[in-house]
Structure 1
Amino acid sequence: MNEHRVKRDPEGTRRRILDAASDQFTKFGLAGARVDAIAAAAETNERMIYYYFESKEGLYVAVLEAMYAEFAAREASLDLASLQPAEAIRELARSIWKYMQENPQWLCRINNENLHEGRYLERSSQLRETIFPVIDLLRATLERGIATGEFRRGIDPLDFYVTLVGMGYHVVSNRFTIKAFTGRNYGEHRLQQAISDMHVDMLLRYLRPTSPSLA
């Protein structure tokens, strides 16, 4: 039955495998995830997993690629060109941070890959290409801000993007230890909103041209 389904819908089978694997890798990491459990959840067999992805490690890399591609495509699709530069930065930041807040499993997979020192991501031949449209979008926004006099020159788009992402990542990824250490739960919506407002203000202040009187 499963083999007939594969012949009729290979892309559907591949998608089910990726979805099931995403869940397994999120819960158990690469080492703890089991191929037989992934196959059962995907309603297929282990042979199909090896057919499409060659190995558990290959499947793990494919899950990471799909995860980053979905994230980058979502941000690249934002209509920032219709917004004023400062508002465009605000929209990009809030979109990224909201995604992290609503998808903590995304951060679990990133944290797991950091335990592997990124060596599985380095196997990907297409991963870095997914980030280029987002960086180009940010670069265009910064250039518009420079042209209007709202932003200063000399901002590296990639450095700024990494900083922006890091702000939201830290608060969400470390929310449990932050709560234990400080007693403040940044998983609460009102606190997420408050710290996001502060982060946006910090980013926009950094982008502003330096006043000659303060130079």
Structure 2
Amino acid sequence: MTRDTAPVAEERQRDADRSQLTILAAARDEFAEFGLGGARMDRIAERAGVNKRLIYYYFEDKEKLFEAVLEQAYLDIREEERHLHLLDLAPTDAVRKLVEFTWDYYLAHPEFLTLLNSANLHKARHLAESRRAKELNSPLIETLGQILERGRREGTFRGGVDPVQLYVSIAGLSYFYLSNSYTLSAIFGRDLLSTKAKAERLSHMVDVTLGYLLRS
């Protein structure tokens, strides 16, 4: 590539990247609102302000677009987790930070939960077909495993803790509460999304997680 054409090609690539991110953001909102079955490519194109043909050019069909949206959703949360620098913290502080982050992220990004709900309705076949999704999630488990091992060596944490099981528990403590907050509030006659209730929930989740890990 000549010196004169290189900037033009780079600008075209930036335009393509911007277009794809715009489409993914519009598709995320559409899938979060209507699910995979109810989402419509026409509405996604309208949300993104692009021609529908451009969506098919980049993503082939609705199924591939949904897969790409899920990948982007995991990329976003894993990227923010990376900025926590958990390995720089003491094991107890790192686990507490991860619990707090997970709770706060789910609160700030309810679309993440609804996307996961939709993916599970389809037995997560889009994630199962995505090598990228697996690659995105592996580093977090490796990091958590290192934190657990360091805590064990220091005598802070008990041994034999599976990092995958621990992360599923951390995510589940937030996920179930928020996904079912309306039914739980109705059943128990309490506003579980009040400021006080959310603060109590976070404190409870930290206590439960650390109570399981800490040596008595």
The TM-score, its normalising length taken from structure 1, stands at: 0.90
Q: Deviations over 1:132-171 (max 9, x none)?
A: 1111111111112112111011011111111111101111
Aligned residue pairs, count: 206
Q: Does 1:120 align with 2:109?
A: no
| Matches for 1:1-215 after TM superposition, within 5 Å | 9-209=15-215
Aligned residues: CA RMSD? 1.6
Return the alpha-carbon distance in structure 2 between the equivalents of residues 45 and 8 of structure 1.
18
Give the C-alpha shift of residue 7 in structure 1.
7.8
Runs of 4+ in 1 over 6 A off after TM superposition: 5-8
* Counterpart residue type for residue 141 of structure 2: I
Segments of 5+ residues of structure 2 without an aligned counterpart are 1-10
Return the alpha-carbon distance in structure 2 between the equivalents of residues 12 and 134 of structure 1.
27
Give the C-alpha shift of residue 37 in structure 1.
1.2
Q: Is 1:29–1:112's contact at 8 Å kept on the other side of the alignment?
A: yes
Give the C-alpha shift of residue 22 in structure 1.
0.7
Give the C-alpha shift of residue 189 in structure 1.
2.2
Return the alpha-carbon distance in structure 1 between the equivalents of residues 136 and 25 of structure 2.
20
Give the C-alpha shift of residue 76 in structure 1.
2.5
* Deviates further, 181-190 or 29-38: 181-190
* Counterpart residue type for residue 82 of structure 2: A
Return the alpha-carbon distance in structure 2 between the equivalents of residues 33 and 6 of structure 1.
29
Q: Is 1:90–1:200's contact at 8 Å kept on the other side of the alignment?
A: yes
CA 1:89–1:180 in structure 2 vs 1: closer, same or farther (change >3 Å)?
same
Segments of 5+ residues of structure 1 without an aligned counterpart are none
